[in-house]
């Protein structure tokens, strides 16, 4: 499952092994005893080469977002390791680091969120939002800060005067560009895109995807691209991991996933995508097929 992922220096940028996140299900009332555990992420392993784009696809509840959040330590995983190769040559296990040790490393791994409304503070100007990571990490201030904000805004296709405005004055696509600028200003090596284009109209989505591709070439970015839209993944990712019930059921180069899916679940998922060609009929009967798959899981 991990073949062909080495970077130029022979080491993957990110190496995830046995990543697991269990959430306890508590009983009602005062005593709050643990009734069961939900295995949101269950022994997930994959490598991510420098400059690569890996798509993480699955339905809601499949654990794709939880996996992404565990990797960035937005939440703490229950078990597993996340080896991250730093630009200075060191390799660290993100799972084992304390909050204090983690902070300087966070600049190398950034995130772009799905909802461009809730992920931008409405009371901060765009300039303050985009510059905030530099302030938090004390990497720039004053003239230099303003200069770098202007530079990164220009790079994502926004105007310098936009930095004085507030997020509400922008369209969905522009807001997503602001989110990308905020991630990019840290000069990260890894960007986790959590449904970064899901809320956008198709033509705006195409522009944002183009921008992400350009930035990847220019800054040699590595993307972990969490998405539910298989069509987007198909044209954007080098490899795809399909998740179901907390596990990766299939991981393969994108072309192979789409032309020759191996796992029954991947096949069902692909058959449910409505084709824009009226002569290619989609499968309306996925409910029964998924039920059969669930029954097979039980036995």
Partner 1 sequence: MSESTEKPLLEVRDLAVSFFTPDGVVSAVQGVSFAIGRGRTLALVGESGSGKTVTAYSILRLIQPPGRITGGRILLRSARAGDIELADLGEEDELLYRVRGGLVSMIFQEPMTALSPVHTVGSQIAEAILLHQKRTVKEARELTIEMLGKVGLPLPSVYYHQYPHELSGGMRQRVVIAMALVCKPELLIADEPTTALDVTIQAQILGLIKTLQRELGCAVLLIAHDFGVVAQMADDVAVMHRGIVVESGDVRSVLKAPQHAYTRSLLDALPSRRRPA
| CA within 13 Å, CB half, 149 | 24
User: CA of 189: how far to CAs of 27, 179, 183, in Å?
Assistant: 42, 16, 10
**Interacting span for partner 1 (CB under 8 A) from 74-82, 129-137, 245-253, 280-288:** 280-288
- Compare residues 143 and 279 and give the one whose CB is closer to partner 1: 279
* 202-219 helix and 172-184 helix, angle to the nearest 10 degrees: 20
278 forms part of the interface with partner 1 (CB under 8 A): yes
Scanning residues 14 to 43, which ones bind partner 1 (CB under 8 A)?
none
Taking the complex as a whole, the smallest distance from the CB of residue 236 to partner 1 amounts, in Å, to: 7
Residues contacting residue 219 through CB under 8 Å, at least 6 positions apart: 184, 187
User: CA of 198: how far to CAs of 114, 116, 125, 247, 253, in Å?
Assistant: 7, 10, 24, 22, 22
Taking the complex as a whole, the smallest distance from the CB of residue 98 to partner 1 amounts, in Å, to: 37
3-state secondary structure of 145: helix
# residues near partner 1 by CB under 8 A: 39
Binding-site member from 108, 148, 228, 263 for partner 1 (CB under 8 A): 228
Scanning residues 114 to 143, which ones bind partner 1 (CB under 8 A)?
none
Scanning residues 208 to 227, which ones bind partner 1 (CB under 8 A)?
209-210, 213-214
DSSP for residue 39 = E
Write out the E strands in 180-289. Answer: 190-194, 222-227, 239-244, 247-253
Euclidean distance between the first and the last CA atom of the chain, given in angstroms as a whole number: 25
Taking the complex as a whole, the smallest distance from the CB of residue 201 to partner 1 amounts, in Å, to: 4
3-state secondary structure of 295: helix
146 forms part of the interface with partner 1 (CB under 8 A): no
234 forms part of the interface with partner 1 (CB under 8 A): yes
Binding-site member from 277, 295, 298, 299 for partner 1 (CB under 8 A): 277
Binding-site member from 202, 259, 295, 298 for partner 1 (CB under 8 A): 202
Binding site for partner 1 (CB under 8 A): 59-60, 172, 201-206, 209-210, 213-214, 228-232, 234-236, 268-269, 272-279, 281-287, 290
């Amino acid at each position: 499952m991990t073949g062909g992922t080495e970077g130029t220096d022979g080491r993957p940028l990110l190496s995830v092994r046995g990543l697991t996140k269990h959430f306890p299900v508590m009983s009602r009332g005062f005593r709050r005893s643990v009734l069961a555990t939900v295995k949101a992420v269950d022994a997930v392993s994959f490598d991510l080469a420098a400059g690569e784009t890996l798509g993480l696809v699955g339905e809601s509840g499949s654990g794709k977002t939880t996996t992404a959040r565990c990797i960035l330590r937005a939440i703490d995983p229950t078990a597993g390791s996340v080896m991250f190769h730093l630009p200075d040559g060191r390799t660290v296990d993100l799972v084992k680091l304390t909050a204090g040790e983690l902070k300087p490393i966070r600049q190398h791994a950034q995130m772009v969120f799905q909802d461009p409304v809730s992920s931008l503070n409405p009371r901060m100007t765009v300039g303050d939002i985009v510059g905030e990571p530099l302030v938090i990490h004390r990497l720039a201030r004053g003239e230099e800060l303003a200069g770098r904000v202007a530079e990164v805004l220009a790079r994502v296709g926004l105007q310098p005067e936009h930095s004085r405005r507030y997020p509400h004055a922008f369209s969905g696509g522009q807001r997503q560009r602001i989110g990308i600028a905020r991630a990019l200003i840290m000069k990260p090596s890894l960007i986790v895109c959590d449904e970064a284009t899901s809320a956008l109209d198709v033509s705006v989505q195409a522009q944002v995807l183009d921008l992400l591709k350009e930035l990847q070439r220019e800054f040699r970015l590595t993307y972990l691209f969490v998405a539910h839209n298989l069509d987007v993944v198909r044209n954007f990712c080098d490899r795809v991991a399909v998740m179901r019930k907390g596990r990766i059921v299939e991981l393969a180069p994108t072309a192979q996933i789409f032309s020759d899916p191996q796992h029954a679940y991947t096949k069902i998922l692909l058959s449910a995508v409505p084709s824009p060609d009226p002569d290619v009929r989609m499968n309306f009967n996925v409910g029964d097929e998924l039920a059969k798959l669930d029954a097979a899981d039980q036995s």
